Structure 1
Amino acid sequence: MNKAWKFGDDVSTDAIIPGRYLTLNKPEKLAEHVFENERENFADKVEEGDYIVAGENFGCGSSREHAPLAIKGAGIKAIIAKSFARIFYRNAINLGILAIECGETDEIEEEDELEINKNTITDKTKDKTFEIEKKPEFIEEIVQKDGLLPYVKEEYLDV
């Protein structure tokens, strides 16, 4: 089962990946430094398929794609937040990361085991289910195809 990593409000792109690593562009290299100033050994502890759960305005700050790329490289399955900075949200979707807005993230705690279905988040630890707003079909398809570039190649370029 995949667990939740809990963060608060206004998590900036600098908190996700410090600026000194912006010369890196490979997801696995960026992942080595994800949240390194915020959570000790986060990169070593996070497991493939885990979730980030946060409050308001996740991904605020600069518009750099390095932040969602570092999260993707760390193996995070989805980011669940009350709200996202719009540019971060779009960058996450474009990179194939599921970004879910849910107003009830306060009810999810660190290390709760979660499961995401099409319209719900189930907190298996607490036996609670939270409704999530359905995304437009094309956004779901972009995420399913692992990002905007693979989506465009398959849907429009016949590659």
Structure 2
Amino acid sequence: MDTIIQGKAYVLGKNIDTDQIIPAEHLVYSLSDPEEVKLYGKYALSGVPLPEAGLPEGNTPFVADDKFASQYSIIIAGPNFGCGSSREHAPFALQVAGVKAIVAESYARIFYRNCVDGGFVIPYETAEQLNQSVMTGDELKIDIENNTVTNLTQNITYSLNPLGDVFDIVKAGGIFAYAKQENLMA
């Protein structure tokens, strides 16, 4: 995994819950069948938007109707991203859809741990309300070594909270792969 992530932003509001990330009716697909796994990407962020979700202007779909992955690889969100149930499929669905990182003001604890423990996506936190200044479609560049995100479209750089060991765990493919890699388990 590179230490630079570059891609288009998809901007959301606050309190994006796991039902919005992957609706319950789409939890029926096999996690071991490659054709069915693609459907997790297709239906990522397809939940019925709540008014406070702050979906992009015009309710821009995250994944186009005829696609299985999104053109957006970085999610920008407000506080409490991933709230709701402890659905492990939520960060998995985002990864399958092509998301590399999420930058939010805060996360629901279980969602954050699921992102890291499964090695799905990098969950960055920031003290700034980036969802108020970044626009859906802006080109972003996350520099993991320097904990910054640069909006290349607007030519503005923001600070991100340091990841600590989180990057190494996600990079290894999850907590168990990391533990094996570091000889922390037999």
1:18-49 CA-to-partner distances (Å, cap 9, x unmatched) read 111222253433112112234665223613x7
Change (3 A) 1:10 1:158: closer
RMSD between aligned residues: 2.0
**How much does 1:7 deviate?**
0.8
Give runs of aligned pairs for residues 69-84 of structure 1, distance below 5 A: 69-84=92-107
Q: Which residue of 1 aligns with 2:52?
A: none
Letter in 2 for 1:115: K
Give the structure with the higher percent helix. 1
Q: Which residue of 2 aligns with 1:131?
A: 159
Q: Which residue of 2 aligns with 1:32?
A: 42
Do 1:25 and 1:66's aligned partners in 2 also have CA atoms closer than 8 Å? no
Letter in 1 for 2:160: I
Give runs of aligned pairs for residues 1-150 of structure 1, distance below 5 A: 2-26=7-31, 27-37=37-47, 38=49, 41-43=61-63, 44=67, 46-47=70-71, 50-96=73-119, 97-102=121-126, 103-105=128-130, 106-118=132-144, 119-136=147-164, 138-150=165-177
Do 2:15 and 2:83's aligned partners in 1 also have CA atoms closer than 8 Å? yes
How many positions carry a matched residue from both structures?
Answer: 157
Letter in 2 for 1:126: Q
**How much does 1:149 deviate?**
2.5
Unaligned runs of 5+ in 1: none
Identity %, equivalent residues: 37
**How much does 1:132 deviate?**
0.9
Change (3 A) 1:13 1:155: same
> Please, what TM-score do these two structures have when normalized by structure 1?
0.89
Change (3 A) 1:111 1:40: closer
Change (3 A) 1:28 1:3: same
